Structure 1
């Protein structure tokens, strides 16, 4: 009985020690200055200068905001395989290494706002395939590389407002690289001019959430036409900030015009002209692929698409016979290896039978050569023309040189020659004049076989002479001195 009691007490002690061990094990890895609660890790306002070591591997949310962190190391998230939310706002980060987020493949929310970042390189977010929200506002960003967001296939919101951007690669988002993007905030930057054609070519779901207000834009007709069209289509980016869309008249900072309220008063921009401006335009180099999006508000379900080319050819899915033009499931038209004859206005017609509604969209495509190729082409043309002119001058010199002895070329009138007379001999220049014969009798020299025989009494003599000529050597027939008779 006593043995059983002692055995039960020993089991209880062992169980208590086991529980205490588990508790101690669970507390290992939580930094002293942070708060750990289940899979949440908060280190807010702890005056941290660097990321604490030994972060709990089970953390799903990590908040390091409102500290003094100035740099992050490559692969610093290697020990957090389950991280979904990362907040690094209100720190002193000026630069990020290319592999800072290399291991955060499960990351969905990344907040880097209120720092001192100056640029976003292309490979920085390369492995964040599951990222949905990216907060980069209130930094000092002046440059965003062309493919910085091209790998974010699940991104929904990108906030880049309150930076120092003067340009942005809108072309990188034209080919549905970010099909889930619904908010792209570029407001309150330093844009002086917008590439209206590139912006117009973006898919409608991106333009609906493309915020461009509070930028020092210069007023011009294309800019007015862009925002007026967005206003009539009811895009949230314009409707929600109606009065904040302004521009500077003639680039003067002290003359600010509200675009959506003063479009009738801008010089040389009538309302009719604004609505006739093409909505979209694409520029592509010769030989490159181009994707033209069909920007309509119709859903993809139960919607069919058709395109009309600049040559008025109707392109139905899947495309034309030689596959140079192909229509994708989302209505986009792909031109493979574009050539100059592919330039012109393309019209997309979208029809949704379930909604009994159709919509059209126009895109102006311009195919051009690179500048250096154009210069080489012009140089080649100039060289070719120079060669042609040189050849013409050579031919003129060889075959059309005028006679140097002009008086010698003037021939006295001669009787008509018979049909069998050689044209080469009749036009010879420099034939010696007739000489005088003895007894002061003038004699005219005649070629025997060319002189017409008028009297019968000369027939016999002529025949004899002709036979004599035939009996001579062939060289006498082709001699330069003619055979004459008197």
Structure 2
């Protein structure tokens, strides 16, 4: 009897997170070049103030845009193991937990532009080994801590422009090898780019 009850609870949880689309979002399938289909989720409800917990588990691209979400809780997306693109843009996000992006091992692109972040949990980049793009422009970040350099090695694109930066670690720019200065305070690194 206990086994049956446990099975029912587990199936109920899987049904809740795997098939449904949050009521304040739209979920669509899109064709890919390889003939497969991938799911995209868009949440742009002006009244949304919390990150939903029932995104479909096969979500590849998630956009939460122009909401009043203030914080991204710990492990907010941990079950989205196929997620490659996460855009949390132009919300009111002021707080990120160090484990907000836990288990996002397939994530390629994280965009947090247009929020109210005063700091970014740089150690969280360990949970995203495939991350290539990190966009933090148009926030309130004042400094980048020394230890951040350790976590930037996999990035190909980092945008910190339109923040309140006053301090960068001494070896921050050196960590981006083969720097070539270009116009508009951008540094072109052949395949790597940083915008300050």
- Provide the C-alpha distance between the structure 1 equivalents of 2:84 and 2:16, rounded to a whole number of angstroms: 24
Q: CA deviation at 1:236?
A: 6.3
Task: Look up the match of 1:167.
Answer: 167
Per the normalisation by structure 2, the TM-score is: 0.74
Superposed, 1:466-477 pairs within 5 Å as none
CA deviations on 1:237-275 (whole Å, 9 max, x unpaired) are 9xxxxxxxxxxxxxxxxxxxxxxxxxxxxxxxxxxxxxx
SS in 2 for 1:126: helix
Task: Look up the match of 2:81.
Answer: 81
CA deviations on 1:19-43 (whole Å, 9 max, x unpaired) are xxxxx99983211221111211111
Q: CA deviation at 1:102?
A: 1.9
- Provide the C-alpha distance between the structure 2 equivalents of 1:78 and 1:25, rounded to a whole number of angstroms: 15
Task: Look up the match of 1:63.
Answer: 63
Q: 1:147 to 1:62 in 2, by over 3 A?
A: same
Q: Check if 1:120 corresponds to 2:120.
A: yes
CA deviations on 1:35-54 (whole Å, 9 max, x unpaired) are 11121111124421011121
CA deviations on 1:61-88 (whole Å, 9 max, x unpaired) are 0010111100111111111000000110
Contact 1:90 1:115 in 2 (8 A): yes
Task: Look up the match of 1:97.
Answer: 97
CA deviations on 1:125-181 (whole Å, 9 max, x unpaired) are 222221111111111111211122422333111111111111212404535xx5xxx
CA deviations on 1:378-410 (whole Å, 9 max, x unpaired) are xxxxxxxxxxxxxxxxxxxxxxxxxxxxxxxxx
- Provide the C-alpha distance between the structure 1 equivalents of 2:129 and 2:18, rounded to a whole number of angstroms: 32
Q: Which runs of 4+ in 1 moved over 6 A?
A: 24-27
Q: 1:121 to 1:35 in 2, by over 3 A?
A: closer
Between Structure 1 and Structure 2, how many residues are aligned? 166
CA deviations on 1:106-141 (whole Å, 9 max, x unpaired) are 111111011111122441322222111111111111
SS in 1 for 2:151: coil
SS in 2 for 1:48: coil
CA deviations on 1:401-439 (whole Å, 9 max, x unpaired) are xxxxxxxxxxxxxxxxxxxxxxxxxxxxxxxxxxxxxxx
Superposed, 1:251-270 pairs within 5 Å as none
- Provide the C-alpha distance between the structure 1 equivalents of 2:172 and 2:184, rounded to a whole number of angstroms: 17
Task: Look up the match of 1:34.
Answer: 25
CA deviations on 1:439-482 (whole Å, 9 max, x unpaired) are xxxxxxxxxxxxxxxxxxxxxxxxxxxxxxxxxxxxxxxxxxxx
Question: What is the aligned-residue RMSD (CA, Å)?
Answer: 2.7
Contact 2:66 2:90 in 1 (8 A): yes
Task: Look up the match of 1:141.
Answer: 141
Superposed, 1:262-341 pairs within 5 Å as none
| The structure with more strand, counted as a fraction of residues | 2
Contact 1:147 1:172 in 2 (8 A): no
CA deviations on 1:270-323 (whole Å, 9 max, x unpaired) are xxxxxxxxxxxxxxxxxxxxxxxxxxxxxxxxxxxxxxxxxxxxxxxxxxxxxx
Q: Which has the higher contact order (CA 8 A, sep 6+)?
A: 2
Q: CA deviation at 1:209?
A: 5.4
SS in 1 for 2:171: helix
Per the normalisation by structure 1, the TM-score is: 0.32
Of 169, 177, 185, the match for 1:212: 185
Superposed, 1:103-114 pairs within 5 Å as 103-114=103-114
SS in 2 for 1:148: helix
SS in 2 for 1:143: coil
Q: 1:116 to 1:166 in 2, by over 3 A?
A: same
| The structure with more helix, counted as a fraction of residues | 1
- Provide the C-alpha distance between the structure 2 equivalents of 1:154 and 1:236, rounded to a whole number of angstroms: 16
Gaps of 5+ in 2: 1-14, 30-38, 190-196
SS in 2 for 1:125: helix
